Amino acid sequence: MPQIGSSKMTKLDIVANAARMVAPGKGILAADESTGTIEKRLAGIDVPSTEANRRDYRQLLFTTPGAEAHISGVILFDETLRQTGSNGVGLAKLLWDKGILPGIKVDAGAKGLAGSPGEMVTEGLDGLRERLAEYVELGAAFTKWRAVITIGAGLPTQACLQANAHALARYAALSQEAGLVPIVEPEVLMDGDHDLERCAEVTEAALQLTFRELFNQKVLLEGMILKPNMVLAGKNCARQNSIEEVAARTVAVLGRQVPAAVPGIAFLSGGQSEQEATAHLNAMNQLRNNLGPSPWQLSFSYGRALQASALQAWRGRADNVEAAQAAFAHRAKMNGLARGGEYDATMEQEV
């Protein structure tokens, strides 16, 4: 299979890599925090956000013994893709050598949508073709682009849903043109006091428009991964639903809007705690097992829900690396078990 510095990947390679990213028992680590975001994370453990500290922390995660058993890919930030590890090996090559696919966040962030106060549209299409060509040379196998949808009074508007769906589709088409698997992420935010049904309604609308635009842009569905939100009540909603209710509503929404050709759905955690994100994924896979065969894999693409315990264990100290890696390995294993509906909260006592 093509790797760093080799020839451009074919459509068959793209399809194979997409399937590899959602292989049974595995999921994706989102380690693509921007410089500003990782600075906040490190500030929470009193560690300065220097390039060396950012490198050391991410290298800690990537070199965790046995991580490849449950982690199929890692989404990187631009800085990280270009960094070299403490042993002189590039971090992208380090991942390839462990059998983990390196990916890259390529959007330029969400900015205010003109004419629609309170709504955002993700930018970054200008010059994307040229950036993708460079990322291929640097060793990337896949890409990620995040759109954010806000629920509120009169929101989201059709204009917001349409603008973000169109941008996601154009990004995905350009990624596949470059030989890269696109992760398509239309995120309906948890912020607000909306209930489960309102989230389901908006999530369906966002997915419906996104797949319509993907079709219009001739995106190969077999060679992409969907990264959606779970269907959850807003954080300020008076009634928070059970794990089983969330699982049932989420699977129902996906069943109506996600084509069977898509190989896998890798959920974002969206601010959930580590155990909540694992429990919800587990319940969805248990439900799927009971309902019979499903056309797509239900996987994970978590950031904080894979890293929070590891970050707290590390605290910037070299003598804490082993403990931090153990915490990360545990979370990866728990989510790997949830991929098959085999997780139980009592397993949390293992670490």
Contact 303/270 with Cβ under 8 angstroms?
no
Residues sharing a CB contact under 8 Å with residue 51, sequence separation 6 or more, in sequence order: 79, 83
Q: Is 1 among the domain residues? A: no
Q: Is 312 among the domain residues? A: yes
Number of domains forming the structure of the chain: 1
Beta bridge partners of 146: 185
Find the CATH number of the domain harbouring 185.
Answer: 3.20.20.70
What is the rounded distance in angstroms from the CA atom of residue 275 to the CA atom of residue 347?
A: 11
**Pairing mode, strands 27-31 and 142-149:** unpaired
The parent domain of residue 301 ranges over 11-350
Write out the catalytic residue numbers.
185, 227
State the DSSP code for 303. Answer: S
Query: Which residue from 72, 70, 139 is spatially nearest to 104, judged by alpha carbons?
Result: 139
Would you give per-residue pLDDT tens digits along the chain (351 residues)?
Answer: 445 555 578 999 999 999 999 999 999 999 999 999 999 999 999 999 999 999 999 999 999 999 999 999 999 999 999 999 999 999 999 999 999 999 999 999 999 999 999 999 999 999 999 999 999 999 999 999 999 999 999 999 999 999 999 999 999 999 999 999 999 999 999 999 999 999 999 999 999 999 999 999 999 999 999 999 999 999 999 999 999 999 999 999 999 999 999 999 999 999 999 999 999 999 999 999 898 778 999 999 999 999 999 999 999 999 999 999 999 999 999 999 999 999 999 999 865
Number of neighbouring beta carbons within 10 Å of residue 32: 23
In order, the DSSP letters of 68-124 are GGTEEEEEE-HHHHH-B-TTS-BHHHHHHHTT-EEEEE----EEEPTT-TT-EEE--
Q: Is 332 among the domain residues? A: yes
Q: Is 2 among the domain residues? A: no
| pLDDT reported for residue 291 | 84
pTM: 0.97
| pLDDT reported for residue 1 | 46
Q: Is 23 among the domain residues? A: yes
Q: Is 268 among the domain residues? A: yes
- Here the tokens at position 4 are 């760093």
Q: Is 3 among the domain residues? A: no
Evaluate the CA torsion angle 44, 49, 54, 60 in order and state its sign: negative
Residues sharing a CB contact under 8 Å with residue 270, sequence separation 6 or more, in sequence order: 187, 189, 190, 229, 230, 232
